[in-house]
Each structure stands twice: as structure tokens, then as C-alpha cells.
Amino acid sequence: MRPTTRWAILFMGPPILLFTAIVVVPTAMALRLSFTDANILGQTSQWIGFDNFVEAFTNEHVRKSIRITLVWTLFGALIPPALGLGIAMMLQANTRFAAIMKSALFVPISISLVVVGQVWIWIYQPGDGLINQMLGLVGLESLEEAWLANRSTALWAVFIAWAWQQAVLAMILYLAGLTSIPGELVEAARVDGAGQFQVFRQVIVPLLRPITTVVLSLIAINSLRNFDLVFAMTQGGPVRETETMPMLVWRILFRQHEQGLASAVSLILFAMTLVVIGGLTWWGRRGSYVD
């Protein structure tokens, strides 16, 4: 055995054992569960092959939650990164003023989604909610709404609260990315006659591509596993209009007690995550100038 191999085992052995016990083995157990009809914890269960997956893809609630999760991920990949980049461009000057503004904007990303959910409920609620108060102030009482209880607005209401927080994550990463762009490149483009917008499109956006890949990956993961905010704000309601896949898994587990089906749905979500991340990684490599 090479001496470095011995050191490698010494270094990696204990953490890998813990990781295996807490992540790898349970994932394998979930895979096994997904092929059974397990429904009461600890009871013996029957092997039923792909029935849970067939059920998952034909059940209207599961299909709806897949749709909600995909729509969320798509808009999640568009709105928070765009907003975050906009704010980062606005605050990129190296001044004391910009630094103070940046620090203040760190707050939304450091607070819990329970707190985010709580305050956005107060913004959306009927009666003394902020939005309805503002509408009342400008004489638009007719537009007042119970935003989180209305089937057509609930999903977007929760999404906006989430995007409000995630845009800050994108901003933080883009700010770091912008400082790494050489000023000479921007200058050169200017000398060549490029306007503000052209510099942004032809120089800044392409150079930010590696950062964009990181931003999109993080936000995609957060979109796909979006449970906390939905749980804190609507628990999937009204009438399952905000039931994302993790929220649905929760419901199948703790209301219907069908562990087999819940495992199948959660593994479908895992597979979707791998596909999305794989796609983003491919996209990031394809456009990279380093290759």
C-alpha cells in the first residue's frame, strides 16, 4: 500500500463512514421502499415492483405537483438571477455608500424561511395586510384580495416571497463575479464604440457565465427542494394549489402514511434534480472560454 493511500484512508475513513450511514444507506433504503407497499412504520411490506412509480405518474395530485415544481424552477431560474444581477450592477461601485447598501441587503438571505413566510403572510393577508392597505390608500379597494387564499394568486404570492430572498443570493454571487471582470476589457469595448447596453450584453454577461452557472445551480436546487416556505405559508393550500413535490411527499408521508409511494415521489424529485444540474453543468462548460 502506498503511504499516501494509508494517509488517505486515515483522513477520509471516519467522515465517509458517517456519510454512508446517514446519506448513502438511507437513500438505498428509500429506493427499496419505493418498490414496496409499506404504509405503517415498521410493518412488513410487500414487493410490488414499479406500481408506486406507475401510480405516481398517473395520480393527478402527483402530476400537478410535478408541474408546480417545474414551473417554479423555470421562473426561479429567470427572475431571481435577473433581479440579483440588476441589483449587483447598481451596487458594484467601490464606495462606502455601496458597501452599506450591500450589507443591508444581506439580511433577507440570512434569515430563516419561517421568518420570511411569517412577514409575507402579513403582507398578503386580508384586512390589515400591506398590499390591501396600499390598494385602499389609492382607492382601489375593489382589487383587494386574500392573496394566499385565492386559488389563482396563491402560488405566485408564495413565489414572490421566495424570489425576494433568492435574488439576494444571486446578487451576492454576481457582485463577486463583477469585481473579477477586468476594467480594461470594458474600456476596450467602449473605445470600439460599444454603448452601455452593448457592453453589458457582449462583454459583461458572457464573462459572468461561470458565475451564472453557479447561481442557476444553487437556485435550481433551492427551487426543487422548496418545502420550508410553502410549509410556513400555505402548507400546500388552498386546495393544493401550492403543493410542490417536497410538500406533497410530506403529505403522503404524514397524512396518508404511504411510505412506498412517498419514497417513489421523492426519488423522482431526486432524478429531476440530477437532470437539471446535469443540464446546467453541460451548458456552463459549453460556453466557457477556458476550454
Partner 1 sequence: MSTSTASLAADRAHSTVPEHGTGRRGRTLRRRAGMVLIAVFVALYLVPVAGVLATSLKTNAEIAERGIWALTGKLTLANYVDVWSTANTVRYLINSFQVAIPAVVVSIAGGTLIGYALAKFRPRGGTAIQLIIVSGLFVPPQVLLVPLFTMFRSFDLLNTLWPMILIHSAVGFSVCTLVMRNFFEQIPDSLRYAALIDGANEGEVFWRVMLPLARPALAALATLQFTFIWNDFLYPLVFTSARDDVATIMLGLLNVKGQFTVAYGTQASLAVIASIPTVAIFFVFQKHFVRGLLSGALKE
188-247: contacts with partner 1 (CB under 8 A): 190, 196, 210-211, 214, 221, 224-225, 227-228, 232, 245-246
Please identify, using beta-carbon distances, which residue of 9 and 54 lies nearer to partner 1: 9
Report the nearest approach of partner 1 to the CB of residue 160 (Å): 11
> 117: which residues sit within 8 A by CB, 6+ positions away?
161, 228, 229, 231, 232, 233
Radius of gyration of the chain (CA): 23
User: 269 near 150, Cβ under 8 Å?
Assistant: no
DSSP characters over 244-276 = -HHHHHHHHHHTS--HHHHHHHHHHHHHHHHHH
User: In angstroms, rounded to a whole number, what is the distance separating the alpha carbons of residues 217 and 221?
Assistant: 6
The number of residues that bind partner 1 (CB under 8 A) is: 104
Contact region for partner 1 (CB under 8 A) — 52-60, 88-96, 139-147, 149-157?
Answer: 88-96
What is the length of the chain? 291
- If binding is defined by CB under 8 A, does position 54 make contact with partner 1? no
Span 139-168, contacts to partner 1 by CB under 8 A: 164
255-274: which residues touch partner 1 (CB under 8 A)? 259, 262-263, 266-267, 269-270, 273-274
27 counts as binding partner 1 under rule CB under 8 A: yes
Residue among 60, 110, 255, 289 that touches partner 1 (CB under 8 A): 110
Q: In angstroms, what is the minimal distance from the CB of 150 to partner 1?
A: 20
Does residue 47 sit in helix, strand or coil?
strand
